[in-house]
């Protein structure tokens, strides 16, 4: 079958496991439809993104996996298995860490195409921050800082043009187009200054035809209860002496709760603290450990596809449906052919 197969009547799309979001978005938009949200870069594959809990931003927007209505897998014995909404196993089937089988296709929900305009602000102080008001000021909101001082260098507001324009009195409108990583060219980024454009050319920060972010990177990300956002930001500020020297940029986003058993936002509206580090693992890991210790009171869940040092025992305690996922993995892959040492430790400790 075609790698991207749009059903305009059902408002769904069947997409092959290796398809990237940029390719998918162009095809879907060409049929007058849209995804509800996208990640910060469109260069990533659909199957890999949803398997690890990747997300965009927005207080009402779940992770990318929330759009999935069916997964088609080839399991270890060569069987093809389809698991859709309504199946008792669905909660473990999408954000699965690749532990169930090879994803050959996914079916995603679509909606009518819409336009988005992007407004960038600067100089948002941490002191006195009304996080809920800032995070809810647009359809998708991202805050950026290098933690060299207590505040945010940039705030990116992505407003759907079919929704009201909110005031944003807490920061200064940017005078020129900006890149979220200091020193990188803004040409790589999607259009700013409130110029309306198609959803898939505004929801990501980076244009599909350019290098995303700063290229090859080390990244970490932790999702915490959204109600703890301000306290968590102050906790990071308290260890910025360890974080800032090895940090390129930090992005703060929100993610609505979802039902995938291994999702970092499972069952709780979340704030996501993302860190893009310098390319020096030996220098970065001590900062990661300091950061994790500072965030420990908030029960952080890591993004599965990024750098973290939290032990499997701690992670098991933060995944309330882990036993259900373990049972599903044993059902579909009893010999553990699709697991590695990390997944075995997580599931079997």
Considering 112, 143, 162, which residue would you say is the last residue of a domain?
112
Residues 58, 128: one domain? no
Least confident segment among 76-85, 209-218, 260-269: 209-218
**Reduced to 3 states, what is the DSSP secondary structure of residue 234?**
helix
Q: Can you give the pLDDT at residue 293?
A: 99
Do 129 and 71 sit in the same domain of this protein? no
In this prediction, residue 189 has a pLDDT band, given cuts at 50, 70 and 90, of: very high
- Across the chain, mean pLDDT equals 96
Residue 324 lies in a domain: no
Phi-psi region of 297 (alpha: psi -120 to 50; beta: other; left: phi over 0): alpha
Whether residue 331 is contained in a domain is answered as no
Strand blocks (E) in the chain: 4-7, 12-16, 33-34, 68-74, 80-84, 102-109, 111-112, 115-125, 140-145, 151-160, 172-173, 197-198, 218-225, 247-255, 270-277, 301-302
Claim to verify: residue 102 and residue 211 sit in the same structural domain: no
Parallel, antiparallel, or unpaired: how do β-strands 111-112 and 102-109 relate? unpaired
Structural domain containing residue 107: 4-112
Whether 337 maps to a domain, the answer reads no
Does residue 247 belong to any structural domain of this protein? Answer: yes
Q: Is the pLDDT of residue 217 over 90?
A: no
Residue 96 lies in a domain: yes
In a domain? residue 326: no
Q: Output the pLDDT for position 216.
A: 72
Residues 194 and 278 in one domain: yes
By three-state DSSP, how is residue 185 classified? Answer: coil
Strand 301-302 with 218-225, pairing: antiparallel
82 and 128 fall within a common domain? no
List the alpha helices (DSSP H) in the chain: 21-30, 46-52, 90-93, 131-135, 229-238, 240-243, 281-295, 312-317, 322-332, 341-348
- What CATH number corresponds to the domain at position 140? 3.30.70.2520
Using the 3D structure, point to which of 112, 131, 156 is the last residue of a domain. 112
Domain total of the chain: 2
Residue 91 lies in a domain: yes
Residues 219 and 237 in one domain: yes
Residue 182 has pLDDT above 70, yes or no: yes
pLDDT of 170 above 70: yes
Please indicate, yes or no, whether residues 69 and 213 belong to a single structural domain of this protein. Answer: no
> 16 with 121, same domain?
no
* 323 confidence band (pLDDT: 50, 70, 90): very high
The enclosing domain of 42 has a CATH number of 3.30.465.10
Residue 152 has pLDDT above 70, yes or no: yes
What's the pTM?
A: 0.96
Judgement on whether residues 103 and 120 belong to the same structural domain of the protein: no
Report, in angstroms and rounded to the nearest whole number, the Rg of the chain calculated over CA atoms: 20
Residue 240 has a pLDDT of 98
Residues 255 and 188 reside in one and the same domain: yes
Instruction: Render pLDDT for 11-30 as a digit per residue (tens, 0 to 9).
Output: 999 999 999 999 999 999 99
Q: What is the pLDDT of residue 183?
A: 87
- 129 and 250 housed in the same domain: yes
Instruction: Pick the last residue of a domain from 86, 112, 138.
Output: 112
Query: Is the residue at 327 inside a domain?
Result: no
Whether 99 and 47 map to the same domain: the answer is: yes
């Amino acid at each position: 079958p075609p790698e991207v197969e749009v059903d305009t009547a059902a408002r769904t799309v069947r997409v092959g496991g290796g398809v990237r979001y940029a390719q998918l978005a162009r095809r879907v938009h060409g049929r007058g439809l849209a995804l509800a949200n996208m990640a910060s870069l469109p260069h990533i594959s659909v199957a890999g993104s949803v398997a690890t809990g990747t997300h965009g931003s927005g207080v009402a927007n779940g992770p990318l996996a929330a759009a999935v209505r069916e997964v088609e897998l080839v399991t270890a014995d060569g069987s093809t298995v389809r698991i859709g909404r309504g199946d008792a196993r669905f909660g473990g089937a999408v954000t699965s860490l690749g532990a169930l089988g090879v994803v050959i296709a996914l079916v995603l929900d679509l909606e009518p195409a819409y336009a988005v305009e992007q407004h960038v602000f600067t100089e948002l102080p941490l002191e006195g921050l009304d996080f809920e008001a800032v995070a809810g000021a647009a359809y998708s909101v991202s805050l950026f800082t290098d933690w060299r001082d207590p505040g945010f260098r940039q705030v990116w507001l992505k407003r759907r043009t079919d929704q009201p324009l909110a005031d944003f009195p807490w920061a200064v409108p940017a005078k020129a187009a900006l890149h979220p990583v200091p020193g990188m060219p803004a040409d790589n980024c999607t259009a700013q200054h409130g110029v309306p454009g198609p959803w898939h050319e505004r929801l990501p920060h980076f244009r599909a035809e350019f290098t995303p972010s700063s290229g090859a990177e080390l990244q970490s990300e932790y999702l915490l209860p959204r109600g703890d956002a301000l306290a968590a930001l102050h906790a990071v500020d308290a260890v910025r002496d360890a974080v800032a020297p090895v940090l390129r940029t930090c992005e703060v986003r929100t993610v609505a709760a979802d039902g995938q058993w291994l999702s970092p936002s499972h069952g709780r509206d979340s704030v996501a603290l993302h860190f893009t580090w310098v390319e020096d693992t030996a220098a970065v890991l001590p900062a990661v450990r300091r950061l994790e210790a500072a965030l420990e009171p908030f029960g952080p869940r890591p993004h599965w596809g990024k750098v973290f040092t939290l032990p499997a025992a701690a992670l098991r305690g933060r995944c309330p449906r882990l036993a259900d996922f373990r049972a599903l993995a044993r059902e579909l892959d009893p010999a553990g052919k699709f697991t590695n040492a990390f997944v075995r430790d997580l599931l079997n400790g």
